[in-house]
Every structure is written in C-alpha cells, then in structure tokens.
Structure 1
C-alpha cells in the first residue's frame, strides 16, 4: 500500500512544510515576546520576598519559565547567575 510519490511531489511537500514551520516559529517568537507578568503576581512576588528577607526589597527581574519540575528550575538558577 505504499504510495508512489515523485521527487517533485516530495520537494513540494518539503517546501510547504518549511513555509508552515517558518510561520509557526514567527508566531511563537511573537507570543514569547508579548508575555508579561500581571501586576497582582508581581505584588505577590514582592510580598514573598519581603516576608522572606524581613524587609522591603526591590525585585530587579522576574522571568516566566515554562518548565515542568522543580529540578529544572534549580538547574536554570544554577546556570543563570545574571539575576541575583
């Protein structure tokens, strides 16, 4: 039941898939660039930092992460020392 596909047909499919992939990559880049942390989340983070440190502190940077586990988060913190 194998389909007989010509080289030209395969090239057309690859070209179409490449265009779709480029469009999806552009869309993902746009979505990632537009992610912002809501104000209520920033207030909660600031309050947690203040409670932990015992005084009001300035939150310098907060980034969204889409990881699934605590170990991944810990590795991310170890590898990224730019935010102290």
Structure 2
C-alpha cells in the first residue's frame, strides 16, 4: 500500500493556496474599485506637503519664489515617456 501522506499534504497545501489567492483577488478588486472611484471623482485632494514640494520645485526652477494659482492632477503617460527620453538621451552611446 502506498503512503498517502505526501499526497494529502500536497492537496491541503493546494487548497490553502487557492483560498489565499481568492482572498488576495478580493483585496485587489477592492483596491482597483477605490482607484476607479478616485479617478472618476476627477478632483482629488492635494495635501499641504505636496503643495509645499511643488512650490519649492517651482522656486528652484525659476530662481525666485512664485505664486502658484492652480494645481491639477493629470493622469498621463507623457510624463513617464519624457522622463525615459531624458534618461536615454543622457547616456553616451560611443
């Protein structure tokens, strides 16, 4: 008669992993739903720390303090693309 213990242990592990995957799938769905709600709201709150960081960056770029009148959250892949172009352009190819 064969030893069923390793098979039983494996089946129990598979069942446990399936349950954990189900739990994680539910959590990911909740997070995605929350992101969808925030994106559809259109206007998210921008924290004070973020505004201060933006203000400091603008002042450093211009060399003088500037009044920031409006800050909008823009969802665009262009920023990432421009950043990648800058990194690639900074490398010497020779």
TM-score clears 0.5: no
TM-score range for the pair, normalised by the shorter chain length: 0.3 to 0.5
TM-score by length of 2: 0.39
Structure with the greater alpha carbon radius of gyration: 2
TM-score normalized with structure 1 length: 0.43
